[in-house]
Structure 1
């Protein structure tokens, strides 16, 4: 994928708790679309460390130590252990810095992620970041952040993924804010919205498509 114009970067994080001063990122997922909400980023994710799968954007589990995971709040420990997610975190080979590099590489180039193993080995970080800093999309911060609960997501990225945070425009499209406005000002339309009880990025994009075709048409 190669972006040469303004675009939206949809971001979702899985974190270990509610305390923004102590949290760490367990998983980061991104999808890039244009402003017509047409998906841009599609490809095949392959790595020695990961299964081959079709993907709409990077969805990366970050490695953390068992001692750090054991310190999570009780709900997270119980829920993530039962789902198998704790084991995925322990098995992951990606540091947060690695994950930032993978995402930026994925966004700025038209290559698939078969370079992920080289990133983990630290072979291309320096060259990649030199390329990134010369890139117009990076320098002009042309990726507008979209998603839900963006206040906390922005804070987490600034603290824990500063390289990626600097990559993004200061403006945001927060689906929660649009939904609240729609409920108060366009109740009949709000009642017709597609509703799914999860924070999946694809569902957020579907919801904004609905608002785009009804309220913002």
Structure 2
């Protein structure tokens, strides 16, 4: 079994390093540059990273506490760090949080910050729109993040203008994480998990950089 595992590992290493082994790294770069000939621009290749902290996971009954946004290029280099917005929620909304949310959002200071905030969800969406429209073309750039389908559900519910400005596709780092664990026995980098929006976005970007380095060479 060890010998079989050795050959499997060697094969995977060869597959991962194929471009480098046969000298096609330059070819990959040229292929990317040539995409502009087919209507793809550098701006349309950008990724709009979003993370939210919510009062729960059901967009029909739960609400957004915090939202942050970062825009990167296709190589995951930061183009711009956007607003990190804490949204006001009244006590009757906060009181409906489950035990997990109450514990973690209390520890992070987010509950009190939401109480003190003067920003409405509509104002937060307006600020996000001003930011993302400055750096990305409408309908071209995907939403990125970890388990970001959940963030998209809340965006569609509470910030539909912003949600519909983005491309319909998403880049979900959690999907790559699960495939890397199953197919390559690779565990991603350890996360701090502060459960604050901007911190979590940065961790997601760094995690995707890790997979790009070890899986997408």
Length-normalised TM-score, structure 2: 0.72
Tell me how far 1:152 sits from its aligned partner: 1.5
Q: Secondary structure at the match of 2:168?
A: strand
Does 77-86 or 7-16 show the bigger shift?
77-86
Tell me how far 1:82 sits from its aligned partner: 4.5
Specify every segment of 5 or more residues in structure 1 that has no aligned partner in the other structure, as ranges: 42-55, 111-135
Do residues 89 (structure 1) and 128 (structure 2) align? no
Q: Secondary structure at the match of 2:89?
A: coil
Aligned to 2:191: 196
Aligned to 2:47: 8
1: distance between equivalents of 2:134 and 2:182? 42
Q: Name which of 108, 116, 122 aligns with 2:133.
A: 108
Aligned to 1:213: 213
Q: Name which of 149, 164, 170 aligns with 1:166.
A: 164
Tell me how far 1:7 sits from its aligned partner: 0.9
Do residues 183 (structure 1) and 178 (structure 2) align? no
2: distance between equivalents of 1:21 and 1:64? 15
2: distance between equivalents of 1:165 and 1:88? 25
Do residues 146 (structure 1) and 144 (structure 2) align? yes
Deviations 1:76-118 (A, max 9, x none): 33443344322211211111111111111122337xxxxxxxx
Deviations 1:124-179 (A, max 9, x none): xxxxxxxxxxxx812xx112111111221111111111111111111111111101
Q: Secondary structure at the match of 1:182?
A: helix
Change over 3 Å in CA distance of 1:179–1:82 after alignment to 2: closer
RMSD, matched Cα: 2.0
Larger helix proportion of the pair: 2
Deviations 1:15-47 (A, max 9, x none): 101333211111111111011101000xxxxxx
Length-normalised TM-score, structure 1: 0.72
Q: Secondary structure at the match of 2:53?
A: strand
Q: Secondary structure at the match of 1:87?
A: helix
2: distance between equivalents of 1:109 and 1:25? 24
Does 202-211 or 66-75 show the bigger shift?
66-75
Q: How does 1:7-156 map to 2 (within 5 A)?
A: 7-41=46-80, 56-109=81-134, 137-138=137-138, 141-156=139-154
Aligned to 1:121: none
Specify every segment of 5 or more residues in structure 2 that has no aligned partner in the other structure, as ranges: 1-41
Aligned to 1:53: none
4+ residue runs of structure 1 moved beyond 4 angstroms? none
1: distance between equivalents of 2:113 and 2:184? 42
Tell me how far 1:62 sits from its aligned partner: 0.5
